[in-house]
Amino acid sequence: MYKLHVYQTRIGPFFIAYAKGRYRVVFENEFLWTYDTAEQAAQHLAGKHRFVVTGVDTGTLGIPANIKRWENCVQAAVNT
């Protein structure tokens, strides 16, 4: 699994990772769902198909639907 994108929230970071030909939403090392594209994953997590994690609706966390507003983990890892 490769973590590609991260977005920090008040309850912790959410990741969009790539594994086995699919993009996965990951929170606290648990897969929430898989998608065809990273963009779909961000859009669904932001509000189109929300999840409840640790008792919090992800739609209330201010997660952006636009993947370009997420931090690129791959680029961050290369620059460190």
Tokens linked to 57: 């609706």
**Nearest in space to 43 (alpha carbons), one of 24, 23, 27, 63:** 63
Residue 65, in any domain of the structure: no
Does some domain include residue 62? no
Whole domain around residue 43: which residue ranges? 1-55
Give the model confidence (pLDDT) of 54-64 as tens digits. 899 998 999 99
**Three-state DSSP class for residue 53:** strand
pTM: 0.87
52-53 and 30-35 as β-strands: parallel, antiparallel, unpaired? unpaired
Q: Is residue 63 part of a domain?
A: no
How many domains does the chain divide into? 1
Do 63 and 71 meet the contact criterion of CB atoms below 8 Å apart? no
5-41 confidence digits (pLDDT tens) = 999 999 999 999 999 999 999 999 999 999 999 999 9
- Residue 60, in any domain of the structure: no
The answer to whether position 44 is within a domain reads yes
* 2 inside domain: yes
Question: What's the CA gap between 5 and 68, in Å, rounded?
Answer: 9
